[in-house]
Each structure stands twice: as structure tokens, then as C-alpha cells.
Structure 1
Amino acid sequence: MKRRIAAAALCLFAGAAAFAQPTGTRADNEGPTSAAALQPTLCHGSGWADALRCYAIPVTGLQAGQATELTVLVAPALSEAQREPLYLLAGGPGQASSDLVKLLNPLRKINRERDLVFVDRRGAGRSQVFDCGLSDSPPADIERFVELLADCYQANPERPLALNSRQTVEDLEQVRTALGHEKISLWGGSWGTRTALLYQQWYPQSLQSLVLDGVAPIDSKVFLTAQAAEAALVELQQACSADPVCRGFGDWRSALDLILANWDKASAVSFPDPFTGLPSEEPVESWMLANAVRTALYDPSVAAQLPFAIDQAAKGNLLPLSGIVGLFARLEGSMAMGLTFSVACAEELSRMQRDEILADAAGTFLGEAFVQPFVRGCAQWPVPSREYPVSEPRSHPVLLISGSADPITPPIYAEQTLDHLENRQHLIVQGGGHINSARGCIPDLMEEFLNSGGQTLDQACVADIQRPPFMAGMFGPSLKEELRQELRQEIQPQNNPESEVAASTEEAQP
């Protein structure tokens, strides 16, 4: 259980498919590996029932001896239309794009007329994952984690040099050429938005359009996330205050501060396992608990449970808060830690100063709980700093998507740091967390944007996307009175004593 919390704490972010040749227009120069020479096999991805095409595509490195094979999954277009494919780029850094296959469910309409392509970058997923044995069960003790990370680096000192954003973009371009796609569109989520923006800078001639969800601009320092997480929690607090049920929990925000400030050894060892209710096998430290709250803010349906869970924790009942932590148990293994640190240390931590970290942490519930494992880890992962180029103006159509309550890539990133994108429009989901492409009408707007060549969208439907109802008690949210009456009329036979008992019990619910 403890190791599952530790894994979540280190995470940044995250139709019937025919077996046929790739659709879309083909490049005249197919490169060293042509589309005709590739022999795909049938494969499957988690969260999608239909078969996909699976390729092993050889790519060369920027340095000698860095050649490898990348695993690429393709969901073929259902029609014979010749629209450019959409490549989906994962976040992290360290998440595998093959983990995004579940997005095919909300993006079915887009998949009707274009291939959807998932490229596992070097060191992630099915492309020779570089996880240092830490992804499935990272130790909660930071000292031990750093020690194991150092051992991994010393055993593989050359491999981190091949894992960086420049190489990822070069690999992506080789995959595009190998599959014979003349131009492609890119969807990026979280750190994947930065990869997409760098691809736009280096290979503008290969790109049709961009959809960026949870935008991490090239110049931003997204690992400084404490202020963004605090703002997301404040927005949750404001929404709670406007809700007649949730405001009954009082000042749960201050209660959270007290819980974290007073978290001691006894609290750490008594925190219950969400699957058994028994004390956790090993201590759950306060930095892990703070990160669990941060991670809960990624998903509005989980964030809606926080006020109740924190109120209960303040009263001595840690089970609801433990249950929220348990919702993220499946995050373990989602980040390849060797890849994560190779990119993060060279491209993020190397640009951050101590005074910036302190300023970001000041006055927040998170403090340095998120960034500290990376600061400590990067001291044992000595990769050279890699600076990004100054962004040049680009005219590709770009659709930006943000959640107003995103705890790591807030809308201000898309609003204030992307002036070099000359043809952009921005969708902001009020109350939305991190990654909103599957919510409400967003998939339809994405399809319209891609199919229209980036014409201005009517965003009115975005306002219809609402926060989920707040958790009212152990049995979930409170039903609105009109819905209660409607349900009563549907399920209560006349003169049924059992139904009368059920009705009286329902009235007693908060």
C-alpha cells in the first residue's frame, strides 16, 4: 500500500479496428524504413477491446550506438477517408503512449476518418522500458529511493544520455516517415504538450495541427507546482462554500493544514490500507499524504470527495482519506523512473533555482513535497543540462484545452506564454482538473477543429461541463430533492412497508 502511494506521489501527470495498410497521404521519400516494408501484427491495449496494428519501427539515435526499436500502436481509420493521422503523445515525462489507448473510447468520432497513432518513446512502455525497478514499488523513504536511483544510474551511465526531448522528437519524425505519413496532427497531454510544441519548432513542415491538453509551454517550469496545486484547492474550497451540503463540513481547508502540520510517527504508522482497513505495512509519511491530495485534484470526481474525507480525518476517521489514496493505486508502474529522471533532471530541474522552489512552496499545503524527491534524485542522476531553443512564430492551427482547477498546468500557462502560436484558440473547462479531452463536448470540438482546418469553434457547450456533486457522506453525494421525489415515485409500490422504511432511511441521508 505504502509503495502505491509513493508511486502516485512521483507522477506528473496520466469501433472495430481493421487490420489493413495505414491510411492517409504518403510521403514521397519514405526513408530508411518504408511503410511497405513494415509488417504489423495484431495487438491490444488496455481499455480498448478491438485489435490494433502493432509495429516495431527501427530508429537511429543522435549519437552513435543509440539505434533501437520503438513500439507503435495504430488504430486504423474506420473509413477510407484520407485525413492526416492523429498521433497521441503521453505525459510524465515517463508515461507510455500505449497507456493512452483508452482514449479511443471518447475519440471514436475522430478515429472514423483518421488513424490514431500511439508511439511509445524510448525507455517507456513497450519500447525497452527504463524504470530502474522503481516504477512498480518505489520505497516511501526518500533516502532509500535516492539510493536505489543512484545504483540504477551507475549501472546504466550511458542510457540516460539517449533519453531527452530532442531525441524523442527525432524518433517521432522517423516514425512518421516509416509509416509513410506526409503530414500529421498531434494531440499532447501534459508533458506530451511540450513534446508536441518542440516537434512544431523543429519539424513544422511535417505538421498539420496541434491539440494540446494541460499545456506545459516550452518556457514554463511545471515542476514548480505547489502554487498551482494551492490555487486548485482554493477553487475547490470556493465551490464547496457555494454548495449547501459541502459547506456543512466547515473549514476543512484549515483542517488539512493542521493534519499535515501535526502528522507524526504515530499517524504515519496508523494510516489505514484502503484495501484492508488495517494499518499500512510501512509508515505513510506526510510528504506522501500531501502528494495524494495533490493527485486527487487532477480528477474533479475525486476532488469532490476531499472535503468530506478531510473533515472525517480531522475527527479521527482516516478511512475516507485512505480510500481516496486507494483510487490511485493503479498509477504504480505508469512512469518509467529512469526515463522520468533523465528528462526531468536535464530539462526541468537544471533550470530551477533554490529561491524559486522556496517561493513556489510558500503558503501552500504542498510545500516542497512534490519537488523534493526530484531535487534529491537529480543530485544522483548527473545528466548534462539541455536548454530549449527560443520559440519561433508558428502558424499551424492550435487548440489549447485547460481546466480552471488544474493543479499542475493551469490555464495561465496557455494564456500568457504562447504568443508565438499565431493561430490558437483556448477552451477552459470551469472546475476542470488535469486533462479534459474526454469530458462533455470536448471530443466533438476536437473533431470539428481537426476536420475544419482550425476554424474558430463555438465554445458555448463548454459551459455545460459541470463539477461532479460533492460527497455528502459515506454513501456518496446528496441527491437533489426533485430527483428524490422522482425516484420515490418510480420505485415505491403503494402500501409497501419495506418501501416506506427505505424512504425514511433516504430522508435521513445528508
Structure 2
Amino acid sequence: MNRSATLFILGCSALSALSAAAAVPAAPRLTLGACTDPALPKDARCGIYEVFENRAARKGRKIPLRVVVLPALGPDRKPDAIVAFGGGPGNSSVEEGLYYSQELAPLRRHRDFLLVDLRGTGGPGLLDCPELHDVQGFLDHYVPTDKVRACAGRLRKVADLSQYTSDNAIDDVDEVRAALGYPQVNVMGGSYGSRAVLVYLRRHPDRVRTAVLSGVAPTHDRAPLFFARSAQKALDGLIAECARDAGCARTFPHLKEEIDTVLAQAEREPVRVRLLDPKTGQPYEIRLSRSGVAQTLRYMLYDPAAAAELPLRVHLAVQGDWRPLTQSGVSSAQGMSSFDNAFFFGVTCSEDVPFIRDQEIPAAVAGTFLGDFRIREQRAACAEWPAVKVPESFLKPVVSDVPALVIAGERDPATPASDNEEAARTLRHSKYVVIPDAGHGWNGFKGQECLYSLYVKTVEDGAVDRLYTSCVAKMERPAFVLSPGDPEVAVSRADLEPLVGTYAGEETVKIDLLEGRLRLEIESKAFLLIPTAATRFRPEGLPAGYAVRFEREGQGSATALVLVQPGKPEERLARKP
């Protein structure tokens, strides 16, 4: 999701980008039609746009890009669209863009959302590496070299893998913009999506009206060089916060020592934990080595709701119950390995890893719990991937006069606040905001509507001069979780069966029975539900605060399902006939 250097004022690079853009022939028009994907809103319009894989040559293989437009809902439609970029690199911008459109619903009154999957990341153009969608391999090696080699060998038979870079991907999107007739766009993205925004600002500055960036991964990031340092700083901040919190300090008075203990135990001998697969109901074993524990801790720090449980899950592991910590590791591995594809390796192996110098590594990882693990593993993976190192000029900070909102998390273990602040310095009309106690996002925070109102006002005003950011200081992080929560209760099969069914609202959820337990399926994810009352359940593996509640009258079937998420309004889904 994800990842300063000397500031450098660009000279004529913006003019060069404009000249290069002007030299490209006019894009053909793109006609959109009805969408066939039931996960998309009914009013969405869909299409496929083909671009040359080798944009410089403008000949040879063409690749399809999935395009989705969510049309403005009001009568006063503005000509500029909203473009949201997915993170990763490698996540689907269409899928993440749908989330943006829901959280920023007021923007749809007057503007279209233009969602385009970057080359290789989704739709018919996906160049996936299913070999790497492996939890154990991720925990042991992040991206196992032999599987990277296998994926590269398979994909290079059909694609030129050296062409999957940020510059090419952003030029693709701007070509789609032109084909649909939008004179300008408002661009937004978090994590890698922020780099996509920066590259758009650099290459097509006249086409961008506003920009919103969060968790900024600057062009000079050279990930994962500073991951270990940033993760250690985030962990130290969490430990210090726990010491200041009366409940956390009383319950976990030796948090730092307990973290050291679980790391040392896994280093001496990997811990083996048996879990149930929520898709099959069958037991399976996960092995946590030191690298697996380190990665689990790092990814828990991404998410404030998960970070609030880190002291408890570490404490339980020290006491001998490794299941909760292991479940966090499995959840992270499933999410982070899902976007291992040609674009992920194309970007990281051409724009970041090649610029890491050997002599920098010892100082970058000294005294950290992650060490040089990620650097070693990603360097080995990139040695197997046919990427081409981009020119060193790519690393120069992006200079822009476009109004920009930059949002950072105070304790971001991947893209620290210092990276965000540095990027904001050369975005000369920018507003820089830091969310106290936040990580790589703000999941679980109370007051999230504050941030979304800043997104909306930036786009609606076309400026950041009148942004009032005082509400950010009033946002509240999730409280530390001091106990495992409500205990599991026994619910008979006869009482579970009336809850089975499909429930729909903004999302569609399927509930079925698997080996005598309820299972929830949403999109491509599945969770076993632990009963805490006859009609209330908590999804196994998710942080505290997540719950599922059923509405049921008498002895009949449930009529609705309510999704409870920390820091967000409850979402009621009606049972489908």
C-alpha cells in the first residue's frame, strides 16, 4: 500500500512534459455502455479503452484498460471529473475509486467519477501473479524469489514487462480523459495512489484542477529503504502512547519487553498455529518465524484499529495464545499479497529498488525490529523481474502550482509524515495536515467526516486557501483494546439457520453455514463469525469494534443484517427474498 532526499526545484521538466504530451496524436473517442458487473452501481457506465503497451514506439501490442464512469447525479454537471488512483502499487483503481465515491458522495452531485484501472492491475488487462497469493510465502519471504521468477517467466511470454511504469500508466489515464472529453480532472490517491497523483501533476500539469494526496509515497521514496526506520518510529510511538494511557499502561506495563519476547521466541523456533480456513472450514497450519512476526507487527501499525489491539495480541502470545497475533498476520498477508502483479513489480523494480545503494542500508535499518528483511527480499525479487531502471530524473521532487491537500498520519510506518511534509513543500499551493496518532490510514477513528469534508471542499472550491482544518485535532483514535472482548456463546444450529441468506444495501453480503458455524462473504473475502449473543457476532480475525448484528422478529428468518465498523456509522442491509 505503499511505501527524504534533497529538495530539488525542477527547471524545464514541466515544459518538457507539456511538449511530450502535445506530440501525442489526439485520442480516439470512447463510447461507454451499460456495465455487466453487479458490484457496480446501476447508473455506472463502462467501457474498454486500448493503449499501446509501448507508448514510445506507438506500435505493437495493445492492452485493454477497464474504464468506469459514475455520472454526476445533479443537474448542474461540471466539466471536470474526479480521478481516484488505487494504492499498492497494483491495486485496482476501479475498486478503490468506488470507495472514494461512497465516502465523498457530495461530490457526485456535480461531477463524474472517472475510474481507470492502471495497466496490468484489473479487468481484462490484469497481469496477475497468483503464485504469490500465498500467506505462508508472504510471511516467510514477502515475495518468494522462486515464485517471482515463475510469474515473470509466464507473463513475459505475452507482455513486455518493462513497460509497466508510473509514467506510462498515467499517460494512459490522461489519454482516456481526452477520449471522454474531460478538459481537466481532480486527482486523488493514497499510498502508491499519491505517487500516481504526483506523476500526473508532473506530466500533465495543465490537465489537473485539484489534487488530494494522503500517505504520500514521493517519487524519490526508494522503497523499501526506509521502511524499517519508519516502522520502528511508529512502534516506539505506540509504546509511548500506551505508557501515557492509564488503562493500557496498567494492563500492559511491559509492552516493549513483551514485543522483544515474541520476536525472540519466533527467531529461536518458528511458532506453529492451527487456524480454520473461512472458505473451506478446514483446519490449516501457519508457521510464524521472526520475519513473520515482524511483518505482522508492521502491518498492524498501518491500521489504527489494528494498532489499538497490538499490545493485547502480543501479550496473549507471550502467555502462550498465539492465535490472535497469527490471525492478524494472516489477514495482512492476504491483503498485501493480493496485488502482486506486473504493475507492482514494474513500478517497484524500476522506480525504487534500483536506486538503493549498499552503503546506505546499515544506517537505515540499525536498531529496528524489521532489519534489512524487506530490502533483501525485494532486491532478490527484482533481480528476477525484467524491469528497466527509470532515469534518475524521476526521483526529483514534483513541483506544481495546482491546489493540493496533503494528509499525513503522525505514526505512519510506510510513508512517514516527514515524506508528506517534504512533498508538500514543492506543491506550492498546498495545505498540509497531520492526523495525530494515525497510521497509514485512519480506520477506526472517530470524526472521519472531518477529513472527507476537506476532500469535498478542496474539489468544490478549486482551492485550499479556505480550508478550515481545526476539526482534525478533534478526531479520536480507537481506544486501546484491553481484553479479548465478549466471550463466545453457544448458539444452536436451529437458531443459526434463520440467519442464513443474502443481504443487500450499498454492499451485498452472503451468510451461510459452514461446519456448524456462520460464515460471512463480502466481495472476495470470507470470515467465520463468532457468536457473542444469539443474533450478534464478531468476525474472526478482525480488530475489536467490528461486529455483525441480525434483526429477527420472533421465530422467523432474519429480516436485516447490520454491519458495525469502528469509527463509522452502522450499515443496515435488508434480506433479499
Same fold (TM over 0.5): yes
> Do the aligned partners of 2:210 and 2:458 also contact (CA within 8 Å) in 1?
no
> Do the aligned partners of 1:272 and 1:278 also contact (CA within 8 Å) in 2?
no
Aligned to 2:29: 34
Aligned to 2:68: 73
Aligned to 1:411: 417
Deviations 1:69-117 (CA, angstroms, capped at 9, x unpaired): 1001222111132331110011111111122122322111122221112
- Per-residue deviation at 1:254? 2.4
Helix, strand or coil at the partner of 2:210: strand
> Do the aligned partners of 2:166 and 2:347 also contact (CA within 8 Å) in 1?
yes
Aligned to 1:209: 210
Determine the C-alpha separation between the residues in 2 that align with 1:329 and 1:467.
24
Aligned to 2:47: 55
**Aligned with 1:349 (options 353, 365, 383):** 353
Amino acid at match of 1:96: S
- After superposition, the Cα gap between the structure-2 partners of 1:256 and 1:50, relative to the gap in structure 1 and judged at 3 Å, is farther
Aligned to 2:540: none
- After superposition, the Cα gap between the structure-2 partners of 1:334 and 1:267, relative to the gap in structure 1 and judged at 3 Å, is closer
Deviations 1:118-155 (CA, angstroms, capped at 9, x unpaired): 21111102142112323433651549921121122233
Query: Is residue 457 of structure 2 the alignment partner of residue 451 of structure 1?
Result: no
Aligned to 2:148: 149
> Do the aligned partners of 1:290 and 1:369 also contact (CA within 8 Å) in 2?
no
Q: TM-score, normalised by structure 2?
A: 0.72
Query: Is residue 362 of structure 2 the alignment partner of residue 363 of structure 1?
Result: no
Report matched runs for 1:50-449 at 5 Å.
Answer: 50-60=42-52, 61-62=54-55, 63=57, 64-83=59-78, 84-100=80-96, 101-137=98-134, 140=137, 142=141, 145-157=144-156, 158-224=159-225, 225-247=227-249, 248-264=251-267, 266-268=269-271, 270-273=272-275, 280-328=284-332, 330-331=334-335, 334-387=338-391, 388-389=393-394, 390-391=396-397, 393-436=399-442, 439-449=448-458
Determine the C-alpha separation between the residues in 2 that align with 1:338 and 1:428.
33
Determine the C-alpha separation between the residues in 2 that align with 1:143 and 1:195.
24
- After superposition, the Cα gap between the structure-2 partners of 1:321 and 1:69, relative to the gap in structure 1 and judged at 3 Å, is same
- After superposition, the Cα gap between the structure-2 partners of 1:423 and 1:231, relative to the gap in structure 1 and judged at 3 Å, is same
Amino acid at match of 1:90: G
> Do the aligned partners of 1:349 and 1:374 also contact (CA within 8 Å) in 2?
yes
- After superposition, the Cα gap between the structure-2 partners of 1:304 and 1:142, relative to the gap in structure 1 and judged at 3 Å, is closer
> Do the aligned partners of 1:201 and 1:391 also contact (CA within 8 Å) in 2?
no
Determine the C-alpha separation between the residues in 2 that align with 1:85 and 1:449.
14
> Do the aligned partners of 2:277 and 2:283 also contact (CA within 8 Å) in 1?
no
Identity of aligned residues (%): 27
Deviations 1:471-506 (CA, angstroms, capped at 9, x unpaired): 1101179xxxxxxxxxxxxxxxxxxxxxxxxxxxxx
Helix, strand or coil at the partner of 2:60: coil
Helix, strand or coil at the partner of 2:425: coil
Amino acid at match of 1:40: G
Amino acid at match of 2:90: G
RCO comparison, higher one (Cα < 8 Å, 6+): 1
Deviations 1:257-297 (CA, angstroms, capped at 9, x unpaired): 222123147533x2342658998535333212211111111
Amino acid at match of 1:118: L
Helix, strand or coil at the partner of 2:68: strand
- After superposition, the Cα gap between the structure-2 partners of 1:343 and 1:125, relative to the gap in structure 1 and judged at 3 Å, is same
Determine the C-alpha separation between the residues in 2 that align with 1:190 and 1:154.
29
Amino acid at match of 1:441: C
> Do the aligned partners of 1:274 and 1:322 also contact (CA within 8 Å) in 2?
no
Determine the C-alpha separation between the residues in 1 that align with 2:454 and 2:483.
36
- After superposition, the Cα gap between the structure-2 partners of 1:30 and 1:351, relative to the gap in structure 1 and judged at 3 Å, is closer
Deviations 1:159-215 (CA, angstroms, capped at 9, x unpaired): 211201111111011111111100011001111111111111111111111100111
- After superposition, the Cα gap between the structure-2 partners of 1:259 and 1:370, relative to the gap in structure 1 and judged at 3 Å, is same
Query: Is residue 462 of structure 2 the alignment partner of residue 466 of structure 1?
Result: no
Helix, strand or coil at the partner of 1:33: coil
Aligned to 1:480: none
Amino acid at match of 1:401: I
- After superposition, the Cα gap between the structure-2 partners of 1:282 and 1:184, relative to the gap in structure 1 and judged at 3 Å, is same
Provide the aligned length of Structure 1 versus Structure 2.
448
Helix, strand or coil at the partner of 1:259: helix
Amino acid at match of 2:478: P
Aligned to 1:501: none
Deviations 1:325-377 (CA, angstroms, capped at 9, x unpaired): 34446516630333211211111000111232332221112212333321110
> Do the aligned partners of 1:217 and 1:413 also contact (CA within 8 Å) in 2?
yes
Q: TM-score, normalised by structure 1?
A: 0.81
Aligned to 1:475: 485
Amino acid at match of 2:224: F
Determine the C-alpha separation between the residues in 1 that align with 2:131 and 2:441.
25
- Per-residue deviation at 1:44? 4.4
- Per-residue deviation at 1:411? 1.2
Determine the C-alpha separation between the residues in 2 that align with 1:325 and 1:139.
10
- After superposition, the Cα gap between the structure-2 partners of 1:170 and 1:414, relative to the gap in structure 1 and judged at 3 Å, is same
- Per-residue deviation at 1:394? 1.8
Helix, strand or coil at the partner of 1:273: strand
Amino acid at match of 1:91: G
Q: Which ranges in structure 1 are unaligned for 5 or more consecutive residues?
A: 1-10, 14-28, 478-510
- Per-residue deviation at 1:49? 5.6
Amino acid at match of 1:471: V
Query: Which segment is superposed worse, 444-453 or 136-145?
Result: 136-145
Amino acid at match of 1:449: T
